[in-house]
Amino acid sequence: MMGEWRQQQQQQIINQNLQNPEEDDGVGNGNGGLFVKVMTDEQMEQLRQQIAVYTTICDQLVDLHKQLSAQQDLTGMRLGNFYCDPFMASGGHKITSRQRWTPSPVQLQILEQIFEEGNGTPCKQKIKELTMELTQHGQISETNVYNWFQNRRARSKRKQSMTAQNNAESEAEPEVESPRDEKTKPEDILSFDNSALRAENMYLQSPELGFGNFDW
Amino acid sequence: MMGEWRQQQQQQIINQNLQNPEEDDGVGNGNGGLFVKVMTDEQMEQLRQQIAVYTTICDQLVDLHKQLSAQQDLTGMRLGNFYCDPFMASGGHKITSRQRWTPSPVQLQILEQIFEEGNGTPCKQKIKELTMELTQHGQISETNVYNWFQNRRARSKRKQSMTAQNNAESEAEPEVESPRDEKTKPEDILSFDNSALRAENMYLQSPELGFGNFDW
DNA sequence: TCCCTATGAATGAAAG
DNA sequence: CTTTCATTCATAGGGA
């Protein structure tokens, strides 16, 4: 049952944290791109483990939640959206003043995934479909989706050209500006499979979870 | 418990996260500790955010669970039976320690001067040049310059209209801003902080473990 | 220690 | 699509 949570798991988690403090020395100020960090295999492994721990935790929580909600899901509370419901105000105030759409974590995750899939500009039809799906996770309109993609793309682009722009004083421009989709990033040493993130909405719908795949 | 400090920051953190095509795994090989990875600041940031995403997910799941189980015991004893307690201090998880650029006096002076010159719109090219110049007076990136102008202009404008504020009437009601005390953070109904999590030191202590210890 | 203000940064939406 | 605007978030720094 839900009480099956292993405390030991916690212990284990905690034990994994014995990192190395130190490191920020010369790079204290955050100007992007010019500096690089160096990680040893060991550090990478540690990092990987920490993330794996999160994966596990999420997994278990999700499981727990499913059990719970299964045995009692008849109350007035909707479990689906635990993100901000635009109509429920806190402290009783401006119920309707939210003018700007704010993606819920789930929505964002989905959008991000679609975006990542490369198919740059989703056509009208797709947007419509997507909106349909996203609606299940909160208020959203097609315009929101459209704007989101527009912005996402524009910013992604800008950011990229900015990153590769740092030391380009000597050389004209390497290959910074490529006609390909921004789907391609310079080099992503650490690439997490966000399918695991999908898990967040899994507790709601998709029973299948992709927690095991952290193949980076 | 009177002067809590609200904190909500996950919302944003959750935002831009992964978007990388996965490629060489890099870490899987066990060729001894001599192998090192080089990461750019950007990549580091990305990693941070990815982890932060997990943190958030865990938080939310935990919260959801708590809501569920709490509901089982008794009824809405909590304020208004909101399933989410929007405000509540949390120990303050510094998941992402984003450093922020601070203009040096010289830089500021230069920027201010440019701004004064009226050319309100520093086109891209100019920004680039300006950045080049400013770099001689301290770390700075084009983004910084860009942001600076954006903010400078926006705030300048706002301040102006603020001064001309005539509708101090009680009924004017130009905007329906929250009646609760001014300083209270806006609705962060969305971000479930992990205070509850810590408060009961329940099953996990996820939030901090992820990043708190990994302060590279 | 706590709260407030100033301001760098993020981002939805709109204009161009 | 690209650039700009408006609003909001988050944090550094100051004051009591």
The reply to whether A120 Cβ lies less than 7 angstroms from strand D is yes
* B3 and B50 part of one domain: yes
* Residue B121 lies inside a defined structural domain of this protein: yes
Is B64 within 8 Å of A51 when comparing Cβ atoms? no
Same domain, A201 and A104: yes
Does residue B62 fall inside a structural domain?
A: yes
Question: For residue B106, what are the contacts with CB-CB under 8 A and spacing of at least 6?
Answer: B137, B138
Nucleotides in chain C with any atom closer than 7 Å to protein CB: 2-5, 7-15
- Mean pLDDT (whole number) for A196-204: 38
Both A6 and A48 in a single domain? Answer: yes
Q: How far is the CA of A41 from the C1' of C7 (A)?
A: 39
Are residues B52 and B135 located together in one domain of the fold?
Answer: no
Domain count, chain B: 2
User: Do A2 and A67 sit in the same domain of this protein?
Assistant: yes
* A113 vs A115: CA distance, rounded Å: 5
In a domain, B144, yes or no: yes
- Residues A58 and A107 occupy one common structural domain: no
Mean pLDDT of B29-51: 59
Any domain includes A26: no
Q: What is the CATH number of the domain that holds B141?
A: 1.10.10
Whether residues A144 and A200 fall in one domain: yes
Read off the CATH number of the domain in which A111 is found. Answer: 1.10.10.60
> B85 and B14: one domain?
yes
Look at residue A119 and tell me whether its pLDDT is greater than 90. Answer: no
B90 and B110 together in one domain: no
Q: What is the DSSP string of B143-155?
A: HHHHHHHHHHHHH
Average pLDDT, chain B: 57
Residues B10 and B113 in one domain: no
Q: Is residue A60 part of a domain?
A: yes
Query: Domain limits at B5?
Result: 1-21+36-97+188-216
pLDDT digits (tens, 9 = 90+) for A53-76: 666 666 666 666 666 655 544 443
Residues B62 and B13 in one domain: yes
How far away is chain A from the Cα of B122, in angstroms, using its nearest Cα? 16
Residue B137 confidence class, pLDDT cut points 50, 70, 90: confident
* 3-state SS record for chain A: CHHHCCHHHHHHHHHCCCCCCCCCHHHCCCCCCCCEEEEEHHHHHHHHHHHHHHHHHHHHHHHHHHHHHHHCCCCCCCCCCCCCCCCCCCCCCCCCCCCCCCCCHHHHHHHHHHHHCCCCCCCHHHHHHHHHHHHCCCCCCHHHHHHHHHHHHHHHHHHHHHHCCCCCCCCCCCCCCCCCCCCCCCCCCCCCCCCCCCHHHHCCCCCCCCCCCCCC
* Ramachandran class of B80: left when φ > 0, alpha when ψ lies in -120 to 50, beta otherwise: left
- Provide the CA B146 to C1' D3 distance, Å, integer: 12
pLDDT digits (tens, 9 = 90+) for B48-90: 666 666 666 666 666 666 666 655 554 434 333 333 333 333 3
Do A107 and A59 share a structural domain?
no
Whether residue A179 is contained in a domain is answered as no
Residue B70 lies in a domain: yes
C7 C1' closest Cα residue: B151
List, for residues A121-172, the tens digit of each pLDDT value: 778 888 888 888 888 888 888 889 999 999 998 988 887 776 665 555 445 4
Report the distance from CA of residue B184 to the C1' of nucleotide D15 in Å, as an integer: 20
For residue A64, which residues of chain B lie inside 8 Å, CB to CB? 65
Q: Is there a domain that residue B91 lies in?
A: yes
